[in-house]
Amino acid sequence: MAEQHGADEMDLYELLGVDKSADTNEIKKAYRKLALRHHPDKVPEDQREESEHMFKRVTQAYEILREDDSREMYDRHGMAAFDPSRGGGMGEGPDINDILEQMFGGMGMGGMGGMGGMPGMGGAGGPRRPRRGPDEESKYTVSLEDLYKGKTVKFSAEKSVHCATCKGTGGKEKAKPQQCDRCKGNGLVEVLRQMGPGLVARDTAPCDRCHGSGNHFKEKDRCKKCKGKRTVQETKPLEIYIPRGAYQGERIILEGEADQFPDQTPGNLVFVLVEEPHEVFNRVGNDLSADLEITLAESLCGFSRVVLTHLDGRGIHISHPRGKVLHPGQVLKVPGEGMPMKRGEDKGDLYLVVKVDFPEDGWLKDDAAYESLTKLLPGPAPEIKADEVDDVEYDDDADIDEMGAGSGDPRYGEGWEDEDGEGGQAQCAQQ
């Protein structure tokens, strides 16, 4: 049978290997057989991930088809009726140990034809493998300087932890809990979720009375510190290390430092790095870019000076010889002065974009100075010959974005592209 990818693509009857007319007993037998075949603890390590994925799929199929209401919804609407994106559905993948415990009851796996106990299976009276709590994710804004140099951040976090006084039981020492009469000791209660107009699906949720433990204490027997809630709030010092060269969006993980919940192993604290915009540098990958601001005299006659301060405080010195003119928009590449790479001592490159600072109007004070400068600079372009010549006025502070405004031409607002046309002139972008 070809395996489908995604719950909305698979046929549940085909997945379990039964006909659409199969009764509840046939569905249950088929599920037991597949559950044993695909249990992750019964396959080699390299097949465990695939096996667990298949186990959860057949379990989801069984959970839907074993109940008349959910089976009818599936027959009418398919897996769309259980799509979590529509506000409900099967929720997170089922817990393997809980499912098998419910399926085989208190006899444990040892009673299944002498197959012997399976690791992680509690059976009657045995401990259940604790579920994992949710991860807690938050954004952490970091400067480009800290990403360049690396940084250790120390902070205090208020989090929920298991009560040390009662060791997470919720009761006083030697006090005996009572079985929760709401969930009958299962820790879970059945709820109905609205799936859409006229569509309701059955689901389970932690019992709100016993907080999912299956037991509760009388008020006089509850722990005085946690009031029977089994967890308390605590402030804990933590620290994260941001490595040199870390990227925007990189995740820094503190394992097991999320809030602790009863009967669950705590999830992780996850910090997603957000790179703060920098006033001087732009970053792409391991490379940096910055403007190289020079005067008109420097662009024509060369220079030798510190042009900018790097992210670690070093001055970057550039020497440009006389006789090599720097043009506006020209790019200089400085190898090895970009961001450090996370492995090894190599760095990316630094790209410097030339920006020429032209003098203000009227910077020359007399005609003699203009004549001297004119003699020093290259002469004008050859004169253009024309039969008729108009002497026109012009606006020397126009905006190219206004070109075509109000004309109705669909090309208005598309912008300009610099392309190498004939004569080296900028061409308007054509569609």
pLDDT tens digits, 180-194: 877 888 878 877 776
Higher pLDDT, 195 or 86: 195
Least confident of 36-45, 195-204, 419-428: 419-428
Which pLDDT value is given to residue 115? Answer: 39
The predicted structure's pLDDT at residue 195:
61
Q: What is the pLDDT of residue 401?
A: 86
3-state secondary structure of 274: strand
Residues with Cβ < 8 Å from 70, sequence gap 6 or more? Answer: 63, 64, 82, 201, 202
For the segment 392-415, the average pLDDT, to the nearest whole number, is 84
Q: Please tell me the predicted confidence (pLDDT) of residue 86.
A: 41
Q: At what angle do helices 24-37 and 48-65 cross, to 10 degrees?
A: 170
AA letter at 259:
D
pLDDT at position 200 is: 66
Lowest-confidence region among 9-23, 236-250, 267-281: 9-23
Distance CA 268, CA 255 (A): 5
Mean pLDDT rounded to a whole number for the chain: 80
Q: What is the pLDDT of residue 95?
A: 47
- Predicted confidence at residue 194, as pLDDT, reads 66
Residue 69 has pLDDT above 50, yes or no: yes
Sign of dihedral through CA atoms 200, 201, 206, 207? Answer: positive
pLDDT, residue 57, reads 85
- pTM here is 0.57
Residue 280 tokens, joined = 């001087």
Instruction: Output 148 or 345, whichever has higher pLDDT.
Output: 148
Residue 307, pLDDT above cutoff 90: yes
Q: Pick the residue with more confidence: 190 or 127?
A: 190
- Predicted confidence at residue 430, as pLDDT, reads 46
pLDDT confidence of residue 210: 76
348 CB-side CA count, 13 A:
19
287: confidence class by pLDDT, cuts 50, 70, 90: very high
Q: What is residue 213's predicted lDDT score, i.e. its pLDDT?
A: 75
